[in-house]
Amino acid sequence: MSVPDKRETPEPLVRTAKDYKSGNDPIWCPGCGDYGVLASLYDMLVAHNYDPKDVVVVSGIGCSSRLPGFLTTYGFHGVHGRALPIAMGVKLANPQLSVIVTGGDGDGFAIGGGHIPHMCRRNADLTYIVMDNEIYGLTKGQISPTSPIGLDTGTTPLGSIERPINPIAMTLIYGATFVARTYSGKRPDMTKIFIKGIDHKGFSFIDVYSPCITFYDTYKTWPQKIAPIPEDHDVTDLQAALKLAMDTEKMYVGIFYQKEEPTLEQQQEQMHSESMKYGVPTMENFYEMFR
Ligand code: SF4
Q: Which atom of ligand 1 is nearest to the CA of 216?
A: 2
Q: How far is CA 287 from CA 47, 48, 275, 291, in A?
A: 52, 48, 16, 6
pLDDT at 202: 98
Q: Residue 280 above 90 pLDDT? A: no
pLDDT at 245: 98
pLDDT at 272: 81
Q: What is the CA radius of gyration of the chain?
A: 21
Q: Please give the distance, rounded to the nearest whole angstrom, from the Cα atom of residue 26 to the centre of ligand 1.
A: 11
How far is Cα 177 from Cα 202, in angstroms, rounded to an integer? Answer: 6
Q: Secondary structure of 119-144 in the HEC alphabet?
A: HHHHCCCEEEEEEECCCECCCCCECC
**Phi and psi of 43, rounded to 5°?**
-60, -45
How far is Cα 107 from Cα 110, in angstroms, rounded to an integer? Answer: 6
Q: How far is CA 22 from CA 63, 75, 198, in A?
A: 17, 11, 21
How far is Cα 257 from Cα 32, in angstroms, rounded to an integer? Answer: 28
Taking the CB of residue 288, how many other CB atoms lie within 10 A of it? 10
Longest dimension (CA), the chain: 85
Q: Residue whose CA is closest, atom 3 of ligand 1?
A: 29
Q: Residue 5 above 70 pLDDT? A: no
Q: Please give the distance, rounded to the nearest whole angstrom, from the Cα atom of residue 178 to the centre of ligand 1.
A: 27
pLDDT at 274: 79
Q: Please give the distance, rounded to the nearest whole angstrom, from the Cα atom of residue 4 to the centre of ligand 1.
A: 55
> CB neighbours of 225 closer than 8 A, spacing ≥ 6?
249, 250, 251
Decide: 238 and 172 in contact? Cβ < 8 Å.
yes
Closest CA to 111 of 145, 149, 80: 80
pLDDT at 12: 78
Decide: 39 and 58 in contact? Cβ < 8 Å.
no
User: In the predicted model, what is the mean pLDDT of residues 139-156?
Assistant: 96
pLDDT at 273: 82
Give 223-247 pLDDT, tens digit per residue: 999 999 999 999 999 999 999 999 9
98-134 burial: b if 16+ Cβ within 10 Å, else e: bbbbbbbbbbbbbbbbebbeebbebbbbbbbbbbbbb
Instruction: Kindly provide the residue ranges of all beta strands, DSSP E only, lying in the chain, ordered along the sequence.
Output: 55-59, 74-77, 98-104, 126-132, 178-183, 204-209, 226-228, 251-258
Element (H, E) at 41: helix 34-48
pLDDT at 106: 97
pLDDT bin (cut points 50, 70, 90) of residue 63 is: very high
* Residue that wins the pLDDT comparison between 93 and 273: 93
Q: Residue 115 above 80 pLDDT? A: yes
> CB neighbours of 126 closer than 8 A, spacing ≥ 6?
84, 87, 88, 91, 99, 100, 101, 119, 203, 204
Q: Please give the distance, rounded to the nearest whole angstrom, from the Cα atom of residue 91 to the centre of ligand 1.
A: 30
Q: Residue 137 above 90 pLDDT? A: yes
* Residue that wins the pLDDT comparison between 187 and 2: 187
User: In the predicted model, what is the mean pLDDT of residues 145-172?
Assistant: 97
Q: Please give the distance, rounded to the nearest whole angstrom, from the Cα atom of residue 105 to the centre of ligand 1.
A: 12
pLDDT bin (cut points 50, 70, 90) of residue 116 is: very high
Going by their DSSP bridges, the two strands 126-132 and 204-209 should be labelled as parallel
pLDDT bin (cut points 50, 70, 90) of residue 288 is: low
Q: Which atom of ligand 1 is nearest to the CA of 140?
A: 5
Give 68-98 pLDDT, tens digit per residue: 999 999 999 999 999 999 999 999 999 999 9
How far is Cα 102 from Cα 83, in angstroms, rounded to an integer? Answer: 8
Within 6 A (CB) of ligand 1 lie 28-29, 32, 34, 63, 133, 137-138, 212-215
pLDDT at 192: 98
pTM given for the model: 0.92
pLDDT bin (cut points 50, 70, 90) of residue 290 is: low
User: In the predicted model, what is the mean pLDDT of residues 53-78?
Assistant: 97
Q: What is the mean pLDDT of the chain?
A: 94
**pLDDT-above-70 percentage for the chain:** 92
Give 172-214 pLDDT, tens digit per residue: 999 999 999 999 999 999 999 999 999 999 999 999 999 999 9
DSSP 111: I
Decide: 167 and 116 in contact? Cβ < 8 Å.
no
pLDDT at 19: 97
